[in-house]
Structure 1
Amino acid sequence: MSRSTHSKKEVEEALRHAESQGWRVVEGGGHCWGKMYCPYNDKECRCGEFCITSIWSTPRNPGNFAKAIRRAVDNCTTHRKEQAAKVKQAEAEE
């Protein structure tokens, strides 16, 4: 089942970025528009603090909120470790 688009275009673009990195975006959940879940949900990943991120329906500043979503996705420690391992493996194969 596909989700509906977020009303703020900057936030929607950030959510699509998150989904392209494997994060799961789910609508609903109380006062927020939805939540996004890290694909790793690793115990070592910053104590799980950023493994679930709330998505607000009407953020005060949509541009800054979109940047915060991207930051949460791009700074995932487990994702960074896996990317570094892939780079090392590619260099070893050359």
Structure 2
Amino acid sequence: MVDRKRHPSKEIEAALCYAESQGWLVVATGHHAWGKMYCPANLSTCRCGEYCLTCIWRTPKNAHNHARALRRVVDNCTVTDTLKRGN
């Protein structure tokens, strides 16, 4: 079980659980965005120097597309990919 507040959308919550299973930190902020996701490495080499940090919206226009976008951020993270391969 996660040690954080659950997202109201089941699809987005599933994407957040996927991110956590890949080592990402999910923090519910309770401000404008529902929360943020942080890459486990958080290096400047990740995502062209922008770090792997992504906002999680509370009520996106399309929850399915937002969940897919969150998974895509995790899957396209160069550092997470390197950690998976063991390099």
Distance of 2:44 and 2:68 partners within structure 1: 25
When normalised by structure 2's length, the TM-score is 0.88
Q: Larger C-alpha radius of gyration, 1 or 2? A: 1
> How much identity, in percent, do the aligned residues show?
55
What letter is aligned with 2:69? A
Measured after TM superposition, the shift of residue 47 of structure 1 is 2.8
Counterpart of 2:42?
41
Counterpart for residue 4 of structure 2: 3
Partner Cα distance (1:81, 1:11) in 2: 25
1:16-31 to 2 correspondence within 5 Å? 16-28=17-29, 30-31=31-32
Structure 1: any 5+ residue segments left out of the alignment? 87-94
Q: Which structure has the highest helix share of the two?
A: 1
Structure 1 runs of 4+ aligned residues shifted over 6 Å read: none
TM-score (normalizing by structure 1): 0.82
**How many positions carry a matched residue from both structures?**
86
RMSD, aligned α-carbons: 1.8
